[in-house]
Amino acid sequence: MTVSTREFEGLQIPAAGTYDLDAAHKRVGFVVKHLMVSKVRGQFAEATATITVGENPLDSAVTASIKTASVETGQVDRDNHLRTGDFFESEKYPTMDFRSTGVKSHAGAEFVLDGELTIKGVSRPVELVVEFEGATTSPYGQHVFGFSAHTEIDRDDWGLSWNVALESGGFMVSKKVKIEIEGEAILQQDAA
């Protein structure tokens, strides 16, 4: 039987190998301020990710793809508007993609990844803060680890600039968007 974890600076981290995001145990969400007074939360129902855990954990890498048409905020008209050219332009740009470019730093179970986020054909650098939540073997014999991650972006940087000015000042939708990710990843193959 393959060893599913190993020790790294006091943490029991996953064995080296290629892990895929478990579709049944993930949430790719976002939070944006509405009317300057409340928060609207949403998520993308369809997302995939591959995490390559290196022999040296600091050499690990992530690629992810999110289907823009799978956006859900609990309000059909808003979801349909988000799929238009005012925001994601889902027919022309069916996915937004993330690719890590390196591990910038780590402290304890927190790892900061540098990466590139592409939305509507525009690629910009982002910093993703990842919290390692633990690794285990499932009752089905799968090697699994859990994580949560977050970042904040300015949507104008990717051309998601639609807005309405408010008479009281400010805008209908904040420029800043907090991205929140929770998930489990399952080992697909052992490192050679």
Q: Which amino acid is at 83?
A: R
Q: What share of the chain has pLDDT > 90, as a percent?
A: 76
Mean pLDDT of 19-39: 90
Q: Residue 152: pLDDT above 90?
A: yes
DSSP string, 48-64: EEEEEE-SSGGG-EEEE
Q: How far is CA 53 from CA 114, 130, 147, in A?
A: 16, 14, 13
Question: 3-state SS of the chain: helix, strand, coil percent to 5?
Answer: 10, 60, 30
Q: Binning pLDDT at 50, 70 and 90, where does residue 167 land? A: confident
Q: How many Å apart are CA 106 and CA 10, to the nearest integer?
A: 13
Q: Identity (one letter) of the amino acid at 23?
A: A
Q: What is the pLDDT of residue 192?
A: 43
Asked if 163 and 156 touch (Cβ cutoff 8 Å), the reply is no
**Alpha-carbon distance values, 44 to 47, 53, 147, 180 (Å):** 7, 25, 17, 11
What is the rounded CA–CA span in Å between residue 117 and residue 186? Answer: 23
The token pair at 71 is: 């956006």
Residues 102-127 have pLDDT tens digits of: 999 999 999 999 999 999 999 999 99
What pTM was estimated for this model as a whole?
0.89
pLDDT at 189: 57
Domain 5-187 grouped into CATH 2.40.128.110? yes
Per the structure block, which two tokens stand in for 188?
């697909």
CA 133 to chain centre: 15
Token pair of 162 as six digits:
């639609």
Band (pLDDT 50/70/90 cuts) for residue 168 is confident
HSE-up (13 A, CA, CB side) for residue 10: 5
Mark 170-182 as b/e (b = at least 16 C-beta within 10 Å): eeebbeebbbbbb
The two tokens of residue 22 are 């478990």
